[in-house]
Amino acid sequence: MSSPISSAAAVNHPSSDSSPTSDIRDIPGGYGVPFFGPIKDRLDYYYGQGEVEFFRARMKKYNSTVFRCNMPPGPFMAKNPQVVCLLDAISFQILFDNSKVEKQNVLDGTYMPSTAFTGGYRTCAYLDPSEPNHAVLKGFFISQLAKLHSKFIPGFRQSISGLFTSLEEELSNKGKANFNSLNDIMSFDFVFRLFCDKNPSETPLGPTGGPKLVDKWLFFQLHPLISLGLKFVPHFLEDLVLHTFPLPFGLIKSDYKKLYNSFYNSAGSILDEAEKIGMKRDEACHNLVFLAGFNAYGGMKALFPALIKWVAIAGEDLHRRLAAEIRAVVKEEGGVSAAALEKMSLTKSVVYEALRIEPAVPYQYGKAKQDIIIKNHDSKFSIKKGEMIFGYQPMATKDSRVFDKPEEFVAERFMSEGEKLIEYVYWSNGRETDDPTVDNKQCPGKDLVVLLSRLMLVEFFLKYDTFTAEIGKLLLGSLVTFKSLTKGT
Ligand code: HEM
User: Taking CA 427 as the corner, what is the angle to CA 421 and CA 430, rounded to the nearest 5 degrees?
Assistant: 75
Handedness of CA 317, 321, 322, 324 (dihedral sign): positive
CA 362 to chain CA centroid, Å, is 7
Residue in 295, 363, 437 to alter for ligand 1 test, most ligand atoms within 8 A of Cβ: 295
Is residue 125 within 6 Å of ligand 1 at its C-beta?
Answer: yes
CA-CA distance, 315 to 326, in Å (whole number)?
17
For residue 326, report the distance from its CA to the centre of ligand 1, in Å.
28
**What pLDDT does 11 receive?**
39
Q: Is 138 in the pocket of ligand 1 (CB under 6 A)?
A: yes
Q: Which fold has domain 7-487?
A: Cytochrome p450 (1.10.630)
Q: What is the secondary structure of 185-237 as a DSSP string? A: HHHHHHHHHHHHSS-GGGSTTHHHHHHHHHHHHHHHHHGGG-----TTS-HHH
Identify the pLDDT of residue 270.
Answer: 98
Asked whether 200 and 206 are in contact (CB, 8 A), the reply is yes
CA gap 440, 426 in Å, rounded? 14
Q: What is the pLDDT of residue 18?
A: 62
Of ligand 1's atoms, which has the minimum distance to the CA of residue 126?
40
303 in contact with ligand 1, CB cutoff 6 A = yes
Q: Are 140 and 123 in contact (CB under 8 A)?
A: no
Ligand 1 within 6 A of 373 CB? no
Say what angle helices 268-276 and 281-289 make with each other, to 10 degrees: 130
- 305 close to ligand 1 (CB < 6 Angstrom): no
Burial 302-338 (b: 16+ CB within 10 A, else e): bbbbbbbbbbbebeeebbebbbebbeebbeeeeebee
The residue contributing the CA closest to ligand 1 atom 3 is 299
Ordered per-residue pLDDT tens for the chain, 489 residues: 445 654 333 434 568 766 555 689 999 999 999 999 999 999 999 999 999 999 999 999 999 999 999 999 999 999 999 999 999 999 999 999 999 999 999 999 999 999 999 999 999 999 999 999 999 999 999 999 999 999 999 999 999 999 999 999 999 999 999 999 999 999 999 999 999 999 999 999 999 999 999 999 999 999 999 999 888 899 999 999 999 999 999 999 999 999 999 999 999 999 999 999 999 999 999 999 999 999 999 999 999 999 999 999 999 999 999 999 999 999 999 999 999 999 999 999 999 999 999 999 999 999 999 999 999 999 999 999 999 999 999 999 999 999 999 999 999 999 999 999 999 999 999 999 999 999 999 999 999 999 999 999 999 999 999 999 999 998 889 999 999 999 997
The rounded distance, in Å, linking the Cα atoms of 2 and 464 is 32
Domain boundaries, the chain: 7-487
Q: Is the CB of 103 under 6 A from ligand 1?
A: yes
Q: How far is the CA of 429 from the centre of ligand 1 (A)?
A: 8
Closest CA to 42 of 89, 91, 111, 113: 111
Known binder of ligand: residue 443?
Answer: yes
Nearest C-alpha to atom 31 of ligand 1 is from which residue?
445
* C-beta pairs of 275-284 under 8 Å, 24+ apart in sequence: 277/136, 277/140, 278/136, 279/136, 279/137, 279/140, 282/119, 283/119, 283/121, 284/140
Does residue 414 contact residue 352 with C-beta atoms inside 8 Å?
yes
Contact 17/375 with Cβ under 8 angstroms? yes
